[in-house]
Each structure stands twice: as structure tokens, then as C-alpha cells.
């Protein structure tokens, strides 16, 4: 079970929860499960998020594996924009 940490502005879409848990084996499955459980997160997910799994930032890789044998900490981070 992946524990997903939401930054403050996303918590309102998850009943105020800072941490939600989802069953998933990949980053893509996490995003899909989050959107299914909390549809209000959909626009933020579609706009793009940075994801950190076990301290490693994963960018644009929905196929990245989430290890089932460990307690996975997933942090959704607002994607930085600029130039």
C-alpha cells in the first residue's frame, strides 16, 4: 500500500487529508487510483506533478515501479515552471 503525501493546496480534494493510501505497483497506477478515489485531484494530476518515491524524484515515468515489499512514501510536489 503506497502512502501518498499531498501538499496543502491538494488536501481540500481529499477531505483535508495530508496522507492517503492507495494500492498500486507503478507511479501511473498511483495517479489513476488517486484520481478515482478523489476526482477533484484530476486537474492537478493532468497538469503535471513531480513525484518522489523513497526519496527519489521520478519525472514523467508512469511505469516506474513502486516496490510492494516496502512501505513506500510518495510525495506529490507541484511541478516547478519557469525559464
CB atoms under 10 Å from CB of 27, counted, come to 22
Residue 81 placed within a domain? no
Query: What is the four-CA torsion angle of 50, 56, 60, 61, rounded to 10 degrees?
Result: -140
Residue 79 placed within a domain? no
pLDDT of residue 66: 85
Number of separate domains in the chain: 1
Residue 77 placed within a domain? no
What CATH number is given to the structural domain containing 24?
A: 3.10.20.30
The confidence band for 80, taking pLDDT boundaries of 50, 70 and 90, is low
By residue range, what is the domain housing residue 13? 2-72
The confidence band for 73, taking pLDDT boundaries of 50, 70 and 90, is low
pLDDT of residue 45: 87
Residue 83 placed within a domain? no
State pTM to two decimals.
0.81
Residue 82 placed within a domain? no
The pLDDT > 70 percentage for the chain reads: 80
pLDDT of residue 36: 96
Residue 38 placed within a domain? yes
CB 34 within 8 A of CB 4: yes
Amino acid at each position: 500500500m503506497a502512502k501518498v503525501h499531498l501538499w496543502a493546496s491538494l488536501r481540500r480534494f481529499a477531505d483535508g487529508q495530508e496522507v492517503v493510501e492507495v494500492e498500486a505497483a507503478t507511479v501511473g497506477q498511483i495517479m489513476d487510483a488517486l484520481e478515482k478515489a478523489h476526482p477533484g485531484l484530476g486537474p492537478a494530476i493532468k497538469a503535471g506533478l513531480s513525484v518522489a518515491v523513497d526519496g527519489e524524484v521520478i519525472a514523467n515515468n508512469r511505469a516506474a515501479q513502486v516496490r510492494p515489499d516496502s512501505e513506500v512514501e510518495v510525495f506529490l510536489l507541484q511541478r516547478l515552471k519557469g525559464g
